[in-house]
Structure 1
Amino acid sequence: MIARIYQPARNAMTSGQAKTKNWVLEFGPSEAKEVDPLMGWTGSGDTQTQVKMRFASKQAALDYAKENGIEAQVVDPNKRKPNIRSGGYGENFATNRRGPWTH
């Protein structure tokens, strides 16, 4: 069973960085999913794919995988520079705004 170690990306709907500092060890599927003939739901007997473990560092995740004999693949993140505006969200409603209001 192969596990993936990665650092999650930020939510695309926000500019916040919550839940992006830790590293995650996530197991891949070990068997194919099956379709239930009666209800049409998909499922499998593999419960390891439901497990997500969080670690403070990449090295801690690699050490855990090595201690427990888990084959792990590391996916390094693509870092972006943070988008921080000087006025923040309140800048949209400033009384001294010089540009035209567009919406």
Structure 2
Amino acid sequence: MAARIYQRSKNAMQSGRARADEWVLEFESHSAKRPDPLTGWAGGSDTQTQVRLRFPTLEAAKAYAAKKGVEVHFVPPAPKKLRLQSYADNFR
């Protein structure tokens, strides 16, 4: 069983940083998704991919994975870009 650990990014619809510091452990799929013959939607029989566990710190997520014997792939967070601009820049 394999999983990946990543830090949640800020939603495009939010202005604050709520839940952006949480770490998520998400299990990877063991089988490929296939289209349903009736509806055409992609799906599979692997229900483990629906499980997402949230942790307050990276260490807590790694400790849980080590305790349960889950092989994890760590995805580092993207660097934050800070664009400083003044109000007058909107009218150039």
| Same amino acid, percent of matched pairs | 47
What is the DSSP-based 3-state SS (H/G/I as helix, E as strand, rest coil) of the residue aligned with 2:21?
A: coil
| Aligned equivalent of 1:52 | 52
User: Which structure has the larger Rg?
Assistant: 1
State how 1:44-83 maps to structure 2 within 5 Å: 44-80=44-80
- Give me the whole-angstrom Cα distance separating, in 1, the residues matched to 2:38 and 2:70: 36
Q: Please state how far the C-alpha of 1:57 moved relative to its aligned partner.
A: 0.6
Distance 2:69 2:43 in 1: 26
The answer for the alignment partner of 1:95 in structure 2 is none
Could you tell me how far 1:14 is from its partner in structure 2? 3.4
When normalised by structure 2's length, the TM-score is 0.80
Counterpart code for 1:32: A
Aligned-partner Cα distance in 1 for 2:3–2:70 = 7
In 1, Cα distance between the equivalents of 2:65 and 2:84? 36
Unaligned 5+ segments in structure 2 are none
For the residues of structure 2 that align with 1:39 and 1:75, how far apart are their CA atoms?
34
- For residue 14 of structure 1, what is the aligned residue in structure 2? 14
Aligned-residue RMSD, C-alpha: 2.4
Deviates more, 1:32-41 or 1:57-66: 32-41
C-alpha contact (below 8 Å) 1:15/1:83 kept by paired residues: no
Cα contact 1:33–1:42 (8 A) shared by 2: yes
TM-score norm. by structure 1 comes to 0.72
